[in-house]
Structure 1
Amino acid sequence: MTPHAASEITEGLCRRAPVIPVLVIEDSRHARPLAEALVAGGLPVLEVTLRTPAALEAIREMASVEGGIVGAGTLITPDDVEAAQAAGARFGVSPGATPMLLDAARAGGLPLLPGAATATEAMALLEKGYRVQKFFPAEAAGGVAALKALASPLPQINFCPTGGIGPGNAGDYLALPNTLCVGGSWVAPRAMVAAGDWAGITALAREAATLSGQGLRR
């Protein structure tokens, strides 16, 4: 898959909802009901980070949830790309980008949302054909002000900022012309997941799905 084709797909995914839940799943038994709760709340695109032993099994469980589109986050190596695809991931997200990782995603046909934190990194990815990127770590890398500053010299790049984003500042990011959506973990708090509070998570997702550049749409 060419980087241009990958960006076409990731742009479409980012436009599905204002928030992509970033999920760290400790117990794969929670995966399916969690996905169902988030999709029911209006957040169909889900990122499961490869940070726990349960992550790949969680992707397998979520892949069959009707209406959901499940991807794998924290892709770092070619082996991560292969394992994510084998588990049923339909897209990948990386905190940064290396030649080996980009080559693996391209060769495997996995649409990738590669990470960038500086103008140089964003330009290097654009040079390779990636015009939709992850801005990470968003708050630590300068937040809204930094991303806004990139919009003028690099208007052809759109971002999904992730890292330190919650309901209090998501609207500020979404108001930027180069932000398609944001990634965040606040819609699936670990305590609520552990307790099986799926109705509560659906309520959080439903509120997140109403976010816009002006905050909550009333």
Structure 2
Amino acid sequence: MVSPLTLSAAAVMNLAPVVPVVVLDDVSAAVPLARALVAGGLPAIEVTLRTPVALEAIREISGAVPEAVVGAGTVITPEQVTACTTAGARFLVSPGWTDVLLTAMRESGVPFLPGVSTVSEVVALLERGVREMKFFPAEAAGGTPYLKAIAGPLPQARFCPTGGVGPDNAAEYLALPNVGCVGGTWMVPAEAVAARDWGRIEGLARAASYLRDAGGTCR
């Protein structure tokens, strides 16, 4: 288990090669889903604020699955920052950033990954002392060729590509020197969650946890 006192954005990215991006419509699925992901070797779990039960799901996971490092995704306002950390989120992820949002995330005291899709945004964050970032939407914004191109001039930036990343291309991202981990949904298919097929989810998570070393696709 990672201590909250030692958790940083870099530490979150180092927990596993893949951060599952979880969209939950039923809060009763939160705890067994988190346990399946942790059992499969993916302890960092991003619960997105795309559904009404997201905050309650974060609260449930935080209280019942201490070995999980549960975070909140799609954070776009200072009010959401406060709500998420109050619910127990141990890291924050945003699809983009502003100075107002960045200040709120920094003042929250938990690690955060602000979203970027342009070189100017990356440089602006580096100026503000932020080195770990979410690259979103990864495939639409240029994918692995884009990240390769900016690795030379901006080697200090480290990314978690999310958006269009799946079992067929995740290893290509993970092979890049400026990629710490990737975010994706393929190990939490909606039909498996609806069917409460935690064994299948654990298996998909376990395969994803070895993806960095596999050098190929992961299904």
TM over 0.5: yes
When normalised by structure 2's length, the TM-score is: 0.93
DSSP 3-state at the match of 1:212: helix
Unaligned 5+ segments in structure 1 are: 1-7
Deviations 1:163-218, CA, capped at 9 Å, x for gaps: 0000100000001010001000111001100100000000000000000162269x
Structure 1 equivalent of residue 84 of structure 2 = 84
Matches within 5 A, 1:67-82: 67-82=67-82
2:169 paired with 1:169: yes
- The percent identity for this pair of structures is 59
User: TM-score, length-normalised on structure 1?
Assistant: 0.94
Say yes or no: does 1:94 pair with 2:103: no
Alignment match, 1:145: 145
Partner of 1:20: 19
Mapping of residues 8-47 of structure 1, within 5 Å: 9-47=8-46
Provide Cα deviations, 1:90-142, integer angstroms capped at 9, x if missing partner. Answer: 11000011111111112221321101001000000111011011100000001
Equivalent residues, number: 210
User: What is the match of residue 3 of structure 1?
Assistant: none
8 A contact 1:135–1:159 mirrored in 2? yes
- 4+ residue stretches of structure 1 with deviation over 3 A? none
Q: How far apart are the structure 2 equivalents of 1:85 and 1:172?
A: 33
Partner of 1:215: 216
Q: Secondary structure at the match of 2:8?
A: helix
Gaps of 5+ in 2: 1-6
RMSD: 1.2
Pair 1:197 & 2:201 matched: no
